[in-house]
Amino acid sequence: MRRSGVRGLCAAVVLSGLALSGCDEVTSAIEGVQNTGDKAAVCADALQIIDLNVNVDPEAVAAGAEEKAQQLQDLGQRVADQSVQETLFDIANGYLELERNKLDHLSNFSAWLENNLNRLDELRQACF
C-alpha cells in the first residue's frame, strides 16, 4: 500500500513538472505574440510619423523635426526588437540633426532626405 502512495506522489511530481514546463512554453509563446504585436504597432506608428517621400517640403519637415524625433525615440523605448529599436533611434537622430542644421537654411536637405529614406528602408526591412 505504501509503495503505491509513493508512486502516486512521484507521478504527481512528474506531472506537475510537465505542467510547469508547459506553462513556461505557453507563457513564452504569449510573450512572443505580444512582442510581435508591439513590434507591428510600433512599426505602423513609426511609418506614420516619418512619412517621407522625394517630394516632401523641406520647410515642413524641418518645422516638425524635433517633435518627430521625440516620438520616434518614445517608440524605440516601447519595442523589444533590437533592430527596430536601433533603426528608430537612427531616424530620430537624423531628425535631431536636421533640427540642428535648420540654421544652415536647409542647404543640405537633399543629402539629409536621401540618408533618411535609406534609414526608412532599413526600418521597413526590420519591421517586415
Instruction: Return mean pLDDT, the chain.
Output: 75
Write down the pLDDT at residue 113: 86
> Is pTM beyond 0.85 here?
no
3-class SS string, the chain: CHHHHHHHHHHHHHHHHHHHHHHHHHHHHHHHHHHHHHHHHHHHHHHHHHCCCCCCCHHHHHHCHHHHHHHHHHHHHHCCCHHHHHHHHHHHHHHHHHHHHHHHCCCCHHHHHHHHHHHHHHHHHHHC
- Interhelix angle for 2-50 vs 82-100, to 10°? 30
Write down the pLDDT at residue 105: 58
Give the model confidence (pLDDT) of 28-53 as tens digits: 444 444 444 588 899 999 988 887 77
Give the model confidence (pLDDT) of 72-108 as tens digits: 999 999 999 999 999 999 999 998 888 777 656 556 7
